[in-house]
Amino acid sequence: MLGMRLSELQRIFTLNVAKLIQWAYDQGYELTFGESFNAAGTGHMKNSNHYIRLAQDLNLFKDNEYLTKSDSYKPLGSFWVSLHPLNRWGGDFKSKDGNHFSMLWEGRA
């Protein structure tokens, strides 16, 4: 992982997002996409991994109910971090951004 190029991590990230989506549906959840890549570089904190294709926000539903609390995402977050040692879940951040799934790059997630 040390010395991996950004494009290599982006491909791993994309595959991991696909695995997370499939796993979530297998568990009875449904998802819609939230923020993903943002070419404009606006809308997120400075140096957000959304700007480099290493972050995806997901909207979570169960039994047709939109789940907004970070704790609702905990099963997804646990699965996400199990997929790769560089995966990070926003529910573990101080800000409790439960719908945020990312990969670590240059010290940021």
Q: What is the pLDDT of residues 3-35, one digit of tens each?
A: 789 999 999 999 999 999 999 999 999 999 998
Confidence band of 1 (pLDDT split at 50, 70, 90): low
pLDDT of the residue at 22: 98
Q: What is the DSSP string of 12-53?
A: HHHHHHHHHHHHHHHTTEEEEE-S---TT--SS-TT-GGGGT
pTM passes above 0.85: yes
Domains of the chain in start order, with CATH, are 6-103 (3.30.1380.10)
Residues whose CB is less than 8 angstroms from the CB of residue 19 and which lie 6 or more positions away in sequence, other chains included: 83
Crossing angle of helices 74-83 and 6-26, rounded to 10°: 140
Q: What is the tens place of the pLDDT at every residue in 44-100?
A: 777 789 889 999 999 999 999 999 999 999 999 999 999 999 999 999 998 889 999
**Is 38 or 109 the better-scoring residue by pLDDT?**
109
Cβ proximity of 28 and 40 under 8 Å? no
pLDDT of the residue at 63: 97
> Measuring CA to CA, which residue among 40, 92, 42, 94 is closest to residue 71?
92
Residues whose CB is less than 8 angstroms from the CB of residue 40 and which lie 6 or more positions away in sequence, other chains included: none
96-105 average pLDDT score: 94
Confidence band of 109 (pLDDT split at 50, 70, 90): confident
